[in-house]
Amino acid sequence: DSGVTQTPKHLITATGQRVTLRCSPRSGDLSVYWYQQSLDQGLQFLIQYYNGEERAKGNILERFSAQQFPDLHSELNLSSLELGDSALYFCASSVGEASYEQYFGPGTRLTVT
């Protein structure tokens, strides 16, 4: 158990809908990272927050957004969902802004039908 929690574990929704994925980092970690794992694209970095502020952006679509709250949990919002958004979404956390080690949560499996 990495200490990173993600909810929900599974999510099934229809095209065009909007969903919110939630992540709680390990106790003491200030950074949260979001990654998408899909069959065709592999594991890709989406976005990072550090202590409430956006720090780095990867291949995140404009339809996706994220935020980190004062209690350090983070939410990833996915809107106008398309079939291709079906994937595993992982959250990871680390102590610092650019720490070597990131600890991954169990993931949220999103299925868009």
What residues line the site for another protein (CB under 8 A)? 2, 4, 31, 33, 35, 42-45, 48, 55-56, 58, 90, 92, 97-98, 100-107
| CB 8, min distance to another protein, A | 14
| CB 58, min distance to another protein, A | 6
Q: How far is CA 24 from CA 10, 11, 63, 66, 85, in A?
A: 16, 18, 22, 13, 22
Q: Measuring CA to CA, which residue among 44, 45, 30, 32 is closest to residue 6?
A: 32
Nearer to another protein, 13 or 45 (CB): 45
| CB 26, min distance to another protein, A | 12
Nearer to another protein, 68 or 102 (CB): 102
Nearer to another protein, 12 or 18 (CB): 12
Nearer to another protein, 7 or 15 (CB): 7
